[in-house]
Amino acid sequence: DAGVTQSPTHLIKTRGQQVTLRCSPKSGHDTVSWYQQALGQGPQFIFQYYEEEERQRGNFPDRFSGHQFPNYSSELNVNALLLGDSALYLCASSLYHLSLNTEAFFGQGTRLTVV
Amino acid sequence: QKEVEQNSGPLSVPEGAIASLNCTYSDRGSQSFFWYRQYSGKSPELIMSIYSNGDKEDGRFTAQLNKASQYVSLLIRDSQPSDSATYLCAAGNTDKLIFGTGTRLQVFP
């Protein structure tokens, strides 16, 4: 049973560039959430996708956008990269529940460095 | 005020002892609570979930939830050096998880 997979594992980009990160959820899961984790901090919620729609968004600018495909996989896009976007980007997959957060499992993350 | 608060540590315990990790949350609407373990340079790994008041045990781990006090804890019995990691507490708030900054646990032989 494949767990959550993310690609790429590491990425170096220049300020102003754009980046796309990818995530495939755990088998049987239908919901993907993205988090940003800066060094020494806990993960910060970016947004969540279910049924190919953005369900909720954290306190991140519009430079951060996403997409979910019919097979439940997801992409995170960041435009006009800033040095402060350097972080570990985590994808979490779960099974949707209307009123309760179900167990979410993280992929190995993508380490993004902006220079 | 941070929504989920944890003592950053480090918490140092000898091998074989009980490690006690604590977490408080501010949103009374939170209904789901999770503990994740994160080794340096790795992604968080789910170790416990708890949804109702009381204790939940899984092997060497016990999670405790007190919604009236807005308090969640994790006990690790018979601590091993391999338990040395950062432990993240998370509170479920509708579609998202709110994480604390984590407590670093060090288990020394």
What are the Cα distances from residue A78, in Å, to A53, A66, A75, A89, B19? 18, 9, 10, 11, 40
Residue B13 has pLDDT above 90, yes or no: yes
What is d(CA A95, CA A32) in angstroms, rounded to the nearest whole number? 9
Q: What is the pLDDT of residue B4?
A: 97
Q: How far is B18 from chain A (nearest CA, A)?
A: 24
Residue A60 has pLDDT above 80, yes or no: yes
Q: What is the pLDDT of residue A2?
A: 73
What is d(CA A115, CA A12) in angstroms, rounded to the nearest whole number? 7
Residue B2 has pLDDT above 70, yes or no: no
Structure tokens at A27: 């088998």
Q: Which residue has the tokens 């990818």?
A: A22
Q: Residue B1 burial by CB count (10 A; 0-12/13-18/19+): exposed, middle or buried?
A: exposed
Q: What is the pLDDT of residue B1?
A: 59
**DSSP structure class, residue B95:** T
Residue B73 has pLDDT above 70, yes or no: yes
Is B46 close to A104, i.e. CB distance below 8 A? yes
Across the interface, which of A33, A41, A104 has its CB nearest the CB of B101?
A: A41
Residue/partner pairs of B51-54 with CB below 8 Å, 24 or more apart: B51/A100
Across the interface, which of B34, B43, B46 has its CB nearest the CB of A107?
A: B43
Going by C-alpha positions, the residue among A37, A77, A79 that lies closest to residue B90 is A37
| Banded pLDDT at B62 (limits 50, 70, 90) | very high
| Amino acid of residue A9 | T
